[in-house]
Structure 1
Amino acid sequence: MKPINGTWLEIHHHGLPEGKYFNPMIHEFSDKQWKAKVKEIASLKMKYIVLMGIAYTDYEIQESYFPSTIYPKSKRIRAKEPIKAILQEAEKQGMKVFLSVGFYGPWPQPYENMISEEVYQKATKAMKELYDLYGHYESFYGWYYPDETEIEPYFHPEFIQYVNRYSAFVKTLNPNLKTLIAPYGTRKVQTDDYFVQQLKELDVDFVAYQDEVGVKKATPEQTKEFYKNLKKAHDQANRSKLWADVETFTFEGEVYKSALLPTPIKRLEAQLESVSPYVDEILVFEYQGMMNQPQTIAFCGHPDSIQYYKDYKKLLKKITKGK
């Protein structure tokens, strides 16, 4: 079984009901606490961090999480330069960070954001600003494209165009930086010749398919078959690497409309077991809010998150011994 090798990290969780137990806390984090959170993640031997957003846009708010000419700095975030703090500590810990290219259009409308020229112009300008500010950090490993449409049962042509257009721009900043997407609709993918052809066309380094267990669209028993088929397709296409985006959470009540809570460790273990034979790396959504190191100075989430951290640490020892 493979261990968790990375996690998403958020300066603000865009689904407000979901972030009930951690949003108010992360908003109050200082730069020092963001560094502590990165160090915590490193304590579980993870090597990748994927930043969900470098900015936030909905139908009322437009805010930035770094010094930018596009949007004003967020007023609800206490940290002075959280992205800088994350990159600095990640470098110290020998970790690799993917920085987001969003959100420069309202986050609930990903399709519109993908095809919008205005969003593209804002995002690429922001990426240039971000790279000028932080491109010298060794921990700055690549870019994450956060706007997603469902695979049903193939990638939308507009999604491929979106990815390829941003990847072309990424190469103008630094051709050595990697690119990552994390699509959903994993349970619907038709891994036939047409899908393989799409993978050949898709200019991206890593595809971390969501296992969709946390959102209750799939079970660990089902995901084994999904990733087995995806591995065959990726091997055939011989382009992007196959990763997994495993969901560490469950919901307090209704899916998408209630708070995210840590899931029992047995379910997480089953999820890891299912995808491990087929993927190169396992990322999770997410460490933050779901796990907290005991005595952390950067606590965020439900009280059960401390036990979840301890439970995973035990599981990690078991996985490491089994290698």
Structure 2
Amino acid sequence: MADTPTSNLAAGRNDPSLDTEGLKRAFHDMLLIRRFEERAGQLYGMGLIGGFCHLYIGQEAVVVGVQMALKEGDKIITSYRDHGQMIAAGMDPRGVMAELTGRATGYSRGKGGSMHMFSREKNFYGGHGIVGAQVALGIGLAFANKYRGTDEVSMTYFGEGASNQGQVYESFNLAALHKLPCVFVIENNRYGMGTSVERSSAASQHLWRNGEPWGIPGKQVDGMDVSAVNAATREAVAYCRAGNGPYLLEMSTYRYRGHSMSDPAKYRQRSEVDEIRQKHDPIDHVRSQLLASGVEEAELKAVEDGIKAVVADATEFAKTSPEPDPAELYTDVLVEA
């Protein structure tokens, strides 16, 4: 059993980069992701979501802090723990929930499910089920940005488990060689499936240094603090936009649920999860900051009520949407040239 993973949670903490209005937005977006994921877990238990379902509960500060540092046109690509990125990017909760439940109104018309939905409109390029495979695709997006002469960046997410995959290091090499505008974001939630990072990585305390052989700068960040995430992402994005090449951010975060809905997470003690919830929960942290700044409890309650209504609406929309026509089996599977 690994030690309680609190030692790195304050690593890389930056001066707050978000004012009160920014914290309000972060509170809304993180709470929307949390409540959406909780409802998705319920629907999975009811048998309305099939296949795989990897929840993002606990990690909300990472995607929200990152997204608030981006601009229109920046690209996003990630792995299968992807609903948080979708919602942070502005994808409609109705369409996301409909896709999770396999409905024709979903983002991939009910054929992609949890791991494979996309939105060109929001520059969200998946959701990928093969561990680490999205990293090579992420530098491809960065290459396209550079080729087109834009200053847009590619935000390429992967976990600490994927950080040891061979294609990740190949991607580091190519990104550095061609000075591609790619921010590699390692979401280190301490456990790859059921194996702690200390047991799977020789550099478990220093994943932010994994790009050093190729001259890629990196930083370890408190991924449970949305302000710290936002400040570090702004720095990384500015570095890439200036034409300096890639940057690596290791976000020290934590997932409250198992690896997927089929994982009872018996490889860690309940006290470990409880300690993180009580001392490092990203939403509670922002709530406390807002109350301390003079925001009324009633205003936060109104935000919560609004989010409850959005999630309820998305759920009802998904439940009442039609299933895909069987003819959809033959669409979008072959391009004839």
- When normalised by structure 2's length, the TM-score is 0.39
Larger radius of gyration: 2
- When normalised by structure 1's length, the TM-score is 0.41
Which has more strand, going by share of residues?
1
